[in-house]
Amino acid sequence: MASVKISIIGAGSAIFSVRLTSDICKTKSLSGSVVTLMDVDEKRLDAAYELASRYAKDMKADVHFKKTMDLKDALTGADFVINTALVGGHDFLEKMRKIGEKHGYYRGIDSQEFNMVSDYYTLTNWNQLSYFLKIANMMEELSPNAWLLQAANPVFEGTTLISRNSKIKMVGFCHGHYAVNNIIDALGLEKEKVDWQIAGFNHAIWLTRFQYNGNDAYPLLDEWIKKNPNGKSPKTPFDDQLSPVAIDNYRFYGRMPIGDTVRNTGWRYHYDLETKKRWYGEPWGGADSELGWKWYEDRLIEITTLTSKAAEVLKKDENMTLSDVLSANSSMIPRDFAEEVENFYDPNTMSGEQHIPFIDAIVNNHTNRFVVNVLNNGVIPNIPDDVAVEIPAKVDKDGIHPEEISPSLPPRIVKWYLYPRMMRMEWALEAFEKKDPDLIVEILLRDPRTRSYEQAKGVVEDLFKEVSW
């Protein structure tokens, strides 16, 4: 059992704040730890701090929360830094998307082949990429032995960029691979008897190994598809693991795309809303259509509103528990978030985010299996060593030990999906590192939405009036 100093940058994050702070409080082997919450938005920071402190009190957890708006203060002496910050917020992303659409780029220029996720900007959020480097550079001075856990997107570009430019120990995390469980559940398999492995890049991972009771389980999936040729109808915009688009990509690539990879498909599934609806299902057409993304953003606003309301009530009444406040405001909890809130007070149910169990594995040698983003260094053949891959790994006190990928990724996936995606990462990083918007124009000249050089030049000119770095 060891206590550590953990700093969460962007601690007001609607998605991560509650999950990470509750996981820390539930991990008894990290008792005595100090957690510094850092954010530039004072209101969000205050709310996250109030909720985390009150939750720790409710759970009788020996975790001390601190708050600061000063990055230097947060990084100094930290053992682990978790970055969840979205510089400019969702408002910036929407502003850029609108400018792109005005110039004829449906869903904005950052929506690209094999990279359609609507808050995963690689071309125009240079301020986000700069912040990644700023944190890593400051850590070299202020907490040189600490680990940087990268949660904020883009994780593929970010992990590659930071690992190439900094000596700091770092790892990127994403929860997308859990979608393997959607396949396991649909096939009615017992989780403990399934042996699975995924490999690729962040948001570009494929189910390389899928065995049940020691036998190949892909024939079971084939049977399911035969019985359900149109896949599964979505319950939410994100419910796409067994959608027609996932099945179509499985047919072409020979392995199942997993999690956010299903969103990151080629142009033929993304031309317009009608096309998206055909492949991702009604009524939303997937998470990244204008309808699906609005659904998600509305939900984020609901969570942020609930968080700040709960914090206000708690501040006024010392004796009230967070649990009381949540019960009194249960109608404000988004429907699909209710189960998560229910598990909030169950000491044995973690959020599913990997960050805190990873810290526990490193600090207390609680060896565990994780899906990590790290530089390839030979794990996936034919991918350069200095490109970040997303792979399963064993983690213990000695660090990250990647698994051998077996069977290996089929050449169809490597040559038709991973190589083009990797080149887009390289182009985006070169444009960012050279601060050269003309390279973004070059990228757009390879985009099927571009009708003329003037169109590409015009949109980049307008967009880069808004970009700071």
Q: What are the start-end ranges of the H helices in 329-452?
A: 338-343, 355-364, 411-413, 419-434, 437-445
Establish how many alpha carbons lie within 13 A of residue 235's alpha carbon, considering only the half-sphere containing its beta carbon.
Answer: 4
Indicate whether 291 belongs to the interface with ligand NAD (CB under 6 A).
no
CB of 202 vs ligand NAD, minimal distance in Å? 8
* SS3 readout for 28-87: HHHCCCEEEEECCCHHHHHHHHHHHHHHHHHCCCCCEEEEECCHHHHHCCCCEEEECCCC
Name the residue nearer to ligand NAD (CB basis): 90 or 366: 90
Residue 18, SS3? helix
CB of 94 vs ligand NAD, minimal distance in Å? 11
> What is the length of the chain?
469
**DSSP at 115:** B
Indicate whether 89 belongs to the interface with ligand NAD (CB under 6 A).
yes
CB of 433 vs ligand NAD, minimal distance in Å? 20
| 179 vs 35: CA distance, rounded Å | 30
175 classed as catalytic: yes
Name the residue whose CB lies closest to ligand NAD: 12
Indicate whether 10 belongs to the interface with ligand NAD (CB under 6 A).
yes
| Binding residue (CB under 6 A) for ligand NAD from 90, 95, 366, 457 | 90
- Those residues with Cβ within 8 angstroms of residue 177's Cβ, 6 or more apart along the chain or in another chain: 198, 205, 258, 259, 371, 390
Tell me how far CA of residue 294 lies from CA of 90, 174, 261, 404, in angstroms.
Answer: 11, 22, 20, 40
Span near ligand NAD by CB under 6 A; candidates 147-155, 227-235, 238-246, 266-274 = 147-155
Name the residue nearer to ligand NAD (CB basis): 68 or 165: 68
438 classed as catalytic: no
Indicate whether 79 belongs to the interface with ligand NAD (CB under 6 A).
no
Indicate whether 152 belongs to the interface with ligand NAD (CB under 6 A).
yes
Indicate whether 391 belongs to the interface with ligand NAD (CB under 6 A).
no
Query: Which candidate in 64, 90, 175, 366 is catalytic?
Result: 175
Query: Which candidate in 119, 260, 288, 360 is catalytic?
Result: 260
Quick one: how many helices (H) and strands (E) in the chain?
A: 18, 13
Residue with tokens 């850029």: 96
Indicate whether 201 belongs to the interface with ligand NAD (CB under 6 A).
no
Q: Which residues are catalytic?
A: 175, 260
Binding residues for ligand NAD (CB under 6 A): 9-10, 12-16, 38-41, 44, 84-87, 89-90, 119-120, 131, 151-153, 155, 173-175, 300
